[in-house]
Amino acid sequence: MTRTCLIVGASHAGSQLAISLRQEGWDGRIVLIGEEPHLPYHRPPLSKEYLAGRKSVEEISIRPAAVYGKAQIELLPGRQVNRIDRAARRIILEGNEALGYDKLALAIGSRARRVDLPGADLAGVHYLRTIADVDRIRADISHDGRAVIVGGGYIGLETAAVLRKLGMDVTVVEMMERVMQRVTAPEVSAFFTRIHAEEGVTVLCGAGVAGFDGAGKVESVRLSDGRILPAELVIIGVGIVPNIELARAAGLTVDNGIVVDEYACTSDPDIVAAGDCSWYYNALYQRWIRLESVQNATEQARIAAATLCGKAQDYNALPWFWSDQYDLKLQIAGLSQGYDEIVTRGDAKEGRSFAAFYLKQGTVIAVDAVNKAAEFMQGKKLITEKRRMDTARLADTSIAMRDIA
């Protein structure tokens, strides 16, 4: 083993990159460095099964330790990288320890966006991004207690669903006019607002937060219009911020993420980046994007590994996502921004199952499918094939999706 590849970041992208490197034929040393003291783990269960106590830390690990050992991948958990010295081809860890590299991969992900509000540092006010975050939240959960969720996106609504099932009185406060406004159509927002209301969650949209009050520990949330919401637990879910500081300090090109080409290569030919931290041009949608999803992290990591092994492949995967709330599985394919028509398949105003197809100039660009696996699977096909659609047939539930697609 004469060559060394260092991978900074031990989550979905980092874990996949390490394994894919071996699969692609990298015969040198592979070192996977992570800030958290755990094996790389799945993040989606944090706001669901792990928060609810249905899964342990071991059960949400992406791979068991033995898999890394068999692939001769060295794990360095609980270590922080302070600096990249590109001229000397090394990274500087906390404590001034240096590790040299021939190739470097950045899978440094993102972090929860913080709010600058009075009382945000009170005990009982939490963010949800890591295992440690959820452990602290779980310590503040009480049956019949009161929780306020700040932010009506995926994380906020998933968390609200779990806390409600655990017996808490839950209020979701969303600054925008509807939940999930950045990523879904009004019909989808209205559906999830109805479902949460039926489950006993109070959803307040168009409401800003002015601060948090309490004597040492949070006791209430103060809204911008003067309303006071009692709460013993507050969870803030207002988005994430890509971790680009390390790359910027090293002189790599950054924008809304670390800029990479279609091969996941940064402005330095010996450094790749993948996952939440990367900013790349998506040929299907013909625009620059940064995706926060497991699918993107794992598939872009495979591309990055191939690049490091001299087997350049274009990254052109269709984005897809999912969210679990109560008995609902929302599956999303594609990016809906820029749509000019929406077609619903099923009744979004009643029941708990329907699909929304987003079209632009007659072609499907995205689909949101709630408990509709066929619509999700066939919708992906419609998006990639870019065929013009007969919208009447698309809306007709008497016609099977396989016959439409």
Q: Which domain holds residue 207?
A: 125-236
Residue 117 lies in a domain: no
Shared-domain flag, residues 144 and 221: yes
The answer for residues whose C-beta is within 8 angstroms of residue 135's C-beta and 6 or more apart is: none
Residue 318 lies in a domain: no
Average pLDDT over residues 233-255: 97
- Reported for 265-268, long-range contacts at CB under 8 A and 24+ positions apart, including other chains, are 265/304, 265/307, 266/106, 268/86
Residue 158 lies in a domain: yes
The CATH number of the domain holding residue 375 is 3.30.390.30
The whole-number pLDDT of residue 2 equals 85
Residue 317 lies in a domain: no
Average pLDDT over residues 110-114: 97
Shared-domain flag, residues 225 and 249: no
Shared-domain flag, residues 104 and 172: no
More reliable by pLDDT, 404 or 376: 376
Domain count for the chain: 3
pLDDT tens-digit profile of 20-53?
Answer: 999 999 999 999 999 999 999 999 999 999 999 9
Average pLDDT over the chain reads: 96
Shared-domain flag, residues 73 and 172: no
Q: Is 173 helix (H, G, I), strand (E, B) or coil?
A: strand
Place of tokens 């959960």: 141
Q: Is the pLDDT of residue 1 over 70?
A: no
pLDDT tens-digit profile of 344-354?
Answer: 999 999 999 99
- Reported for 269-272, long-range contacts at CB under 8 A and 24+ positions apart, including other chains, are 270/89, 270/101, 270/102, 270/103, 270/104, 271/84, 271/86, 271/103, 271/104, 271/105, 271/106, 272/103, 272/104, 272/105, 272/106, 272/304, 272/307, 272/308
> At residue 200, what are phi and psi to the nearest 5 degrees?
100, 10
Average pLDDT over residues 378-392: 93
Shared-domain flag, residues 138 and 196: yes
pLDDT tens-digit profile of 175-213?
Answer: 999 999 999 999 999 999 999 999 999 999 999 999 999
**How long is the chain?**
405
Residue 189 lies in a domain: yes
Residue 66 lies in a domain: yes
Q: Which of 236, 255, 276 is the last residue of a domain?
A: 236
pLDDT tens-digit profile of 68-108?
Answer: 999 999 999 999 999 999 999 999 999 999 999 999 999 99
- Give, rounded to a whole angstrom, the gap between the first and last alpha carbons of the chain: 50
Shared-domain flag, residues 100 and 139: no
